[in-house]
Structure formats: structure tokens, C-alpha cells
């Protein structure tokens, strides 16, 4: 799985911090619950963004390979 890294939560990608993921927090206040929900949504969006960036890079590489043939 590789070494632990700053600003990374396994399964969520880069720039997702543990406080953005619900299992990493432990308080039960309503405002904290709302913050967790927002952070979880942000983590999911960042994960989707990372996946789209990777897909775009792969597609650009494939296009470049086709153009160079």
C-alpha cells in the first residue's frame, strides 16, 4: 500500500485530510456533524477530481500515441 503521506487518506487520494473523512473524527456536536458532512462531500469531490485528472492524462497520452503513429 505504500508509506503514509501528509494530506492523503487511503482510498480518497491526494489533498484529502483525515478531518474531511467522518471515521477520523470523534465528536458528536451538531456543528461538528455539519462540518463532517461538508468535509466528507469535499473529500468525495476531490477524489472525483483526482480520478478525472488521471483519466484526462491517460486520454491525452493515448491521443498523442495515435497522432505519432
Cβ-count burial 1-17 (b if 16+ within 10 Å, e if not): eeeeeeebbeebbebbb
Report the pLDDT value the prediction gives residue 38, as an integer from 0 to 100: 86
Is 26 a residue whose pLDDT tops 60?
no
- Name the pTM for this structure: 0.52
Distance CA 58, CA 38 (A): 30
Is residue 30 within 8 Å of 22, Cβ to Cβ? no
Distance CA 26, CA 39 (A): 14
Amino acid at each position: 500500500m505504500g508509506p503514509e503521506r501528509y494530506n492523503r487518506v487511503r482510498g480518497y487520494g491526494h489533498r484529502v485530510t483525515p478531518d474531511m473523512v467522518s471515521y477520523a473524527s470523534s465528536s458528536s456536536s451538531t456543528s461538528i456533524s455539519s462540518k463532517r458532512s461538508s468535509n466528507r462531500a469535499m473529500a468525495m469531490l476531490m477524489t472525483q477530481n483526482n480520478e478525472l485528472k488521471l483519466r484526462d492524462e491517460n486520454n491525452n497520452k493515448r491521443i498523442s500515441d495515435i497522432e505519432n503513429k
